[in-house]
Structure 1
Amino acid sequence: MNPWPRRVLTTILTLTVALATLAGVAVAGAVVTTRSMHQPVPTRSHPAASTAVPSTGPGSLAGDVSGQNGRRLVVAFVVGTGGTIASDLLAPYDIFSSSPAFRTYVAAADAGPAPLEGGPAVLPTYTFADVDANPALTPDLVVVPALTRPSGSSEAPLRTWVTRQHDDGARVLGVCTGSLVLAATGMLDGLHATSHWSRIHALEADHPRVHWVRGRRYVEDGSVTTSAAVTSGVPAALHLVAELAGPAEAQRVADLHPELRWTPTETTSIAADHFTGSDWPVGLDYVMPWFRPTVGVALRDGVGELDATAAFEVYSQSAAARTVALGPGDTVRTQHGLVLLTTRLVHAPHLTRVLVPGTRTSGAFDARLRAWADNRHLAVERLADRSGPDGPGGGGFAAALQDLADHTDGATALTTAKMVGYPAGGLHLGSRHRSWRTVLLGILGLALAVLVGRAPVALARRRRPMRRAEDSREGSVSPASQTRGSA
């Protein structure tokens, strides 16, 4: 018999099983990584959130700043029941809340803690029913972050509420893939809109009535504004502050975060990004999450929302480490009044190190954190932007990306900056350090795939001599039996 067909079939079987095994390992890793982005929501009771109060610190204007018609404009941020992208919510919330021209709050379908993907859970300020029952809370602007299940039935109440507010005259800002939520309502039909660069191709197929735009930080069409990747929600928010409260007020708010380098005349044009071969470190981190470090992010009362979310977002997008929100108690209240759920220091899991966002100190907690970290032999690092003078907030995404580069490598930090849409020019992301954890795991995964792929062939080869032996024994017995039979 010609051995070539058998060899071809054997090779095809080996490759098929090996690739299936490798794909299974990658899928399992991706599931683990995705689940780790959702920090568990504690079931214990929490104090009710209160209406956020604009900052009255040194950065505020001496006089009142009014929005349209001489009154403070109401900005409602919605959160979903199944998960909301933390940075899409917290970063723009910081921007609008930093101006006394706006009154901000977070609204949800129910009053329970709302899970944030890539960050700690948040307590909504009001429910949709609360807002509907109080005319003073009627929003002038609704901010829609990206949701984990944007078109799912569980988020139908949110989509209905946002649509009704828009129909009643409210402006709408969709942050990143918050555009998926808006597209699902039909609100974007016939309009120009943008979204995260990695999703626009699919959106063009799913929602052909929308004029999807690439290469723009944000797109405004009538009363609806949509922004590109994650951090683009910040310049989009500043643009709306400039429109509604004036360019001077928008510049004042931007100056609270000098690392943004924002001005009212800044262009909306950006690179039309796409995945390239140089993004492989983040891809490998995403599918090989085992044995990765766990980083504690220590939050305290008064922390800025943008600073608080930056480290969570950067490390969740890079998949280089798992993050845990730490606090002196079960909750912390941010600079502008949001209540975030945290893990007490005494209940913290095993950690690799601890990051402290923001440069403002909080005496007693800082001392307690330092003592606790020293007892555990943990390094405590403050996140501060090294590309320029430290702003009041401590560097936000710039500092987080620099920290990521220091502990992984420049390629990982650059890919992560691309994923979150942060302009990396001027940042010090040239670290050559590289963790070999994912590389070794990748090699082990390939080795496992090869072994599993060759297993059927090895078993077949092992059975072949056994069959030959059995056939040989049967052949030696058969003639004797025939002889006895003839006698």
Structure 2
Amino acid sequence: MKKTYVRVAVYFSAWMLLILITGVWGWISSMNQMMGTDHQPLNSSLVPVEVEPPPYNPNKPTVAVLLGSDSTEVIDFLAPYELFSATKHFNVFAVAPDRRITTLTGGLDVIPHYSFEELDELLGNSPDVVVIPAIFYMDHQGYEAVDDYIKKHSNNDTMILTICTGAENLAHTGLLDGKTATTHWGDMGRLEKKYPEVKWIHDQRFVAAGNIVSSAGLTSGIDATLYAISQLAGEPIAERTARSIHYPNFHYVKDPSMERYHFDLRDAVFILNHAFVWKKQNEGVLLYDGMQETALASVFDTFSAMGTSKTFTISKTISPVKTKHGLYLIPRYQNKNAPNIDRLIVTGTNPSMDLAKYIKEWRVKDKDTEMVYMHAMEPGRFVLEAPIEDLARQTNIPTAVFAAKRLEYRADALQLEGDSYPTGVIVLPVMMGFLSLVMVIWMDRRFLKKENRRAKKSIT
């Protein structure tokens, strides 16, 4: 009987072992793609990084949107940047430890307008607002400069606005000790253990505590940013800004209460996608002058973040691309050296007509590439809705549902059509487990035959 139990335990362990090994390998690879760290580093010597920042008006409040040296969350950075800029009430600058090209999640490369030191020299004092997105790799060498900058400009005259797990970056400095704050629902438990001195709030889109405003997950940062705009420039300007991007949830600015999200069994699709979708769809994202920042972020934070796609930035030339509000992006690829892609995505509700010639050239180069105008077909909708609905069609509805949940996007306007179950992503681990089990049974039987032969010989 004991041998039977041991054999069952061995079979079960072997069945799980191959699934775990391959799943962990897939997870790590997919996470690197999501963070944008799997891309070949850009050769800065080939890219003109001296770009002209937006004009500085000393009569306007200044907003510094922080970047890390390694990787920064894409929508956490781009959405506040666009919203503050769209008001025309603020100077808005992307600032980082130095002027080197830095990467947003999904592989979108950005040139900071100023280094921390350069912005301090320009202003002569602290910015009026410091926006802290989720900046990763806090243990890496070079992050110390981010820590020091936040501490240096933490006086009561500066509003500090954290987006998503940017609250962890602020908590890392000790400046949240004894204060109320919130963060992404999926990271709340971890941060409660790591920073027990902070009074974490679970059921609000954002929390205002003195000069600190912290937001919950990702799109909650839109609410927190609009709240900050309402406090600094007036509610009518905040409401007008929300309408300009067709954001449907301005009511959260007045009342940030919400129902708390929790992990449940359906969310396992996120883990399965990252662990076992090894052949990902290649999405080319076209960069062009004048593109909308949040529309661009919506594609990167929907597709690459869910583990089903890889995103590649493509443009006509290697030169920096200037967004609608003066941010400079660097494309990874051009027409001549672009990898094989399944789709070429054009973001924005009103893409430039100058793109027509380039897109025609692309069609000649690769007739099999599908052209997707992600937002232009329904320009009156908020830009996050089309990518989530497209994700449902490309993958399955559970993946799209979790994408909205991860992004903290709460809206009734989503119309999800696609496979009801993530059948495809379950097949691979089941096959791996079956193969592992067959191999163990075969080895076990060979071992038993040898054991039986030895027993017969010993008897004779």
The 3-state SS of whatever aligns with 1:219 is strand
Return closer, same or farther for 1:198/1:452 CA change in 2, 3 Å cut-off: farther
Q: Does 1:36 align with 2:33?
A: yes
Distance of 2:138 and 2:388 partners within structure 1: 28
Distance of 2:363 and 2:312 partners within structure 1: 15
Distance of 2:252 and 2:271 partners within structure 1: 36
Return closer, same or farther for 1:368/1:449 CA change in 2, 3 Å cut-off: same
Flag structure 1 segments of 5+ consecutive residues without an equivalent: 55-65, 476-487
Equivalent position of 1:277 in the other structure: 265
Return closer, same or farther for 1:453/1:262 CA change in 2, 3 Å cut-off: farther
CA contact (8 A) 2:348 2:376 kept: no
Q: Does 1:174 align with 2:176?
A: no
Distance of 1:456 and 1:147 partners within structure 2: 49
CA contact (8 A) 2:127 2:153 kept: yes
Q: Among residues 395, 413, 416, which one is paired with 2:403 in the alignment?
A: 416
The 3-state SS of whatever aligns with 2:291 is coil
Q: Among residues 329, 332, 335, which one is paired with 2:321 in the alignment?
A: 332
Q: Among residues 6, 19, 23, which one is paired with 2:20 in the alignment?
A: 23
Q: Among residues 319, 340, 346, which one is paired with 2:336 in the alignment?
A: 346
Q: After superposition, what is the alpha-carbon deviation per residue over 1:234-273, rounded to whole angstroms, capped at 9, x for unaligned?
A: 1111110111001111111111111434258542112210
Trace 1:432-471 onto structure 2 (pairs within 5 A).
432=419, 436-454=423-441, 456-468=443-455, 471=458
Q: After superposition, what is the alpha-carbon deviation per residue over 1:361-402, rounded to whole angstroms, capped at 9, x for unaligned?
A: 32332321233135312111111287xx624xx742112111
Deviation at 1:468, TM superposition (A): 4.7
Q: After superposition, what is the alpha-carbon deviation per residue over 1:52-90, rounded to whole angstroms, capped at 9, x for unaligned?
A: 369xxxxxxxxxxx9xxx931100011111211111101
Q: Among residues 428, 444, 459, which one is paired with 2:415 in the alignment?
A: 428
CA contact (8 A) 1:15 1:453 kept: no
CA contact (8 A) 1:183 1:189 kept: yes
CA contact (8 A) 1:288 1:438 kept: yes
Q: After superposition, what is the alpha-carbon deviation per residue over 1:338-367, rounded to whole angstroms, capped at 9, x for unaligned?
A: 111212122221111121111223233232
CA contact (8 A) 1:146 1:176 kept: yes
TM-score, L = length of structure 2: 0.92
State which drifts further: 129-138 or 10-19.
129-138
CA contact (8 A) 2:105 2:300 kept: no
Q: Among residues 366, 369, 374, which one is paired with 1:383 in the alignment?
A: 374
Equivalent position of 1:154 in the other structure: 142
State which drifts further: 315-324 or 144-153.
144-153
CA contact (8 A) 2:205 2:252 kept: no
Distance of 1:460 and 1:230 partners within structure 2: 55
Q: Which amino acid aligns with 1:50?
A: E
Q: After superposition, what is the alpha-carbon deviation per residue over 1:131-186, rounded to whole angstroms, capped at 9, x for unaligned?
A: 23223574111111102223545311101111101137321111100111111100
Trace 1:183-332 onto structure 2 (pairs within 5 A).
183-263=171-251, 266-330=254-318, 331-332=320-321
The structure whose Rg is larger is 1
Equivalent position of 1:121 in the other structure: 109
Q: Which amino acid aligns with 1:305?
A: E
Return closer, same or farther for 1:347/1:268 CA change in 2, 3 Å cut-off: same
Distance of 1:457 and 1:191 partners within structure 2: 60
Alignment size in residue pairs? 452
Identical counterparts, % of pairs: 25
Equivalent position of 1:77 in the other structure: 65
Distance of 2:142 and 2:456 partners within structure 1: 64
Return closer, same or farther for 1:403/1:374 CA change in 2, 3 Å cut-off: farther
Deviation at 1:429, TM superposition (A): 1.5
CA contact (8 A) 1:297 1:355 kept: yes
Distance of 2:53 and 2:442 partners within structure 1: 63
Q: Among residues 43, 50, 53, which one is paired with 1:51 in the alignment?
A: 53
Distance of 2:127 and 2:179 partners within structure 1: 22
Q: Which amino acid aligns with 1:43?
A: N
Q: Which amino acid aligns with 2:341?
A: L
Distance of 1:304 and 1:19 partners within structure 2: 46
Equivalent position of 1:57 in the other structure: none
Root mean square deviation, CA, Å: 2.3
Q: After superposition, what is the alpha-carbon deviation per residue over 1:264-301, rounded to whole angstroms, capped at 9, x for unaligned?
A: 85421122101112223333112112112111111211
Q: Does 1:90 align with 2:78?
A: yes
Flag structure 2 segments of 5+ consecutive residues without an equivalent: none
The 3-state SS of whatever aligns with 2:345 is strand
